[in-house]
Amino acid sequence: MSDDNLPVKYSAEAGTLPPERVQAMFDRIARPYDAMNRVMTGGLDVRWRRLAAEATEVGAGASVLDCCCGTADLTLELAKRVGPSGEVVGLDFADRMLDRGRLKIAKHGVDQATLIHGDALDLPFEDDRFAAATVAFGIRNVADLGLGFRELVRVVRPGGKVVCLEITTPESGVVSKFHSLWFDRLVPGVGRLVDKGNAAYTYLPASVKRFPGTTSLAHVMYEAGLEDVRFRTLGGGIVALHVGTVRRSAA
């Protein structure tokens, strides 16, 4: 489908695409996806995912959901934490991303991690199924941010953590200049190389620009049913790690 045929509310330039276009875009870029991440972050993304896994505060034997798991890098970090007696379920709707993730899981011989196809906005799990849930660089792409968090809250037991790792826009100074150089020049350049003539190079930077800032995102998480929502910025302010605790309902 060409952009001309899309409903008016969607446009790659505005950082919005219908779910089937998001899915198709990630399927197209699945092969170079990990290498792109390493190049665009100078390898820092590996540490950021480790911090996200730590923020779940789960230990051996726990059951965790990694939503929008993509090629399973965070899924694997979580699998280390929960150990062989635990369970990590990675969920994503882009099958080519899942294929890459499954290869990695097999290579690492991690039996406690399973990847499934599914929609973040309609999670195929019963209420309170998991001890914690994560979403890394994924929630920015879902069509309904509030619903995305409500679904994560629904499937995590009261008292469990919901962790969100996402690109953010720094508010001031040198980092803000670097960020604009990175997103307005480097990311579109890399996107153009790996997704020739398609949406990735315009969609990715635009989707970051339209995404709420750190405080607004914390508010969305609170509204979705999380309490004690905290965040810290990483990479000099280009990425934010938000953590909230699923509220226990009043007795």
Ligand X SMILES: C[S@@+](CC[C@H](N)C(=O)[O-])C[C@H]1O[C@@H](n2cnc3c(N)ncnc32)[C@H](O)[C@@H]1O
CB of residue 58 to ligand X, shortest distance in Å: 17
- Please tell me the number of Cα atoms within 13 Å of 30 on its side-chain side: 23
CB atoms within 10 A of CB 58: 22
Question: From CA 67, how far away is CA 96, in angstroms rounded?
Answer: 16
Query: Which of the stretches 88-96, 173-181, 182-190, 195-203 binds ligand X when contact is defined by CB under 6 A?
Result: 88-96
| Contact positions with ligand X (CB under 6 A) in 90-119 | 92-94, 97, 119
Single residue of 12, 17, 22, 190 touching ligand X by CB under 6 A: 22
Beta strand pairing call for 226-234 and 239-246: antiparallel
Query: Which of the stretches 106-114, 138-146, 206-214, 216-224 binds ligand X when contact is defined by CB under 6 A?
Result: 138-146
Question: From CA 133, how far away is CA 67, in angstroms rounded?
Answer: 7
CB of residue 177 to ligand X, shortest distance in Å: 24
Q: How far is the CA of 227 from the CAs of 74, 105, 209, 247, in angstroms?
A: 23, 33, 26, 6
Q: Does 121 bind ligand X (CB under 6 A)?
A: yes
Q: Does 15 bind ligand X (CB under 6 A)?
A: no
CB of residue 93 to ligand X, shortest distance in Å: 4
| Comparison of 74 and 229: residue with beta carbon closer to ligand X | 74
**CA 165, 169, 171: angle at the middle one, nearest 5?**
130
CB of residue 144 to ligand X, shortest distance in Å: 9
| Comparison of 66 and 87: residue with beta carbon closer to ligand X | 66
| Contact positions with ligand X (CB under 6 A) in 206-245 | none
Question: From CA 99, how far away is CA 219, in angstroms rounded?
Answer: 35
Question: From CA 184, how far away is CA 141, in angstroms rounded?
Answer: 18
Single residue of 136, 200, 229, 238 touching ligand X by CB under 6 A: 136
CB of residue 42 to ligand X, shortest distance in Å: 16
* Binding-residue pattern over the window 144 to 183 for ligand X, x denoting contact by CB under 6 A: ----------------------------------------
| Comparison of 198 and 247: residue with beta carbon closer to ligand X | 198
| H runs (alpha helix) in the chain | 19-41, 44-55, 73-82, 95-108, 145-155, 173-181, 187-194, 200-210, 214-223
| Contact positions with ligand X (CB under 6 A) in 64-83 | 68-70, 73-74
Strand partners, 43: none
Single residue of 58, 120, 238, 240 touching ligand X by CB under 6 A: 120
Q: How many helices and strands in the chain, by DSSP H and E?
A: 9, 7
Instruction: Give the interface with ligand X as residue ranges (CB under 6 A).
Output: 19, 22-23, 26, 68-70, 73-74, 92-94, 97, 119-121, 136-138, 141-142
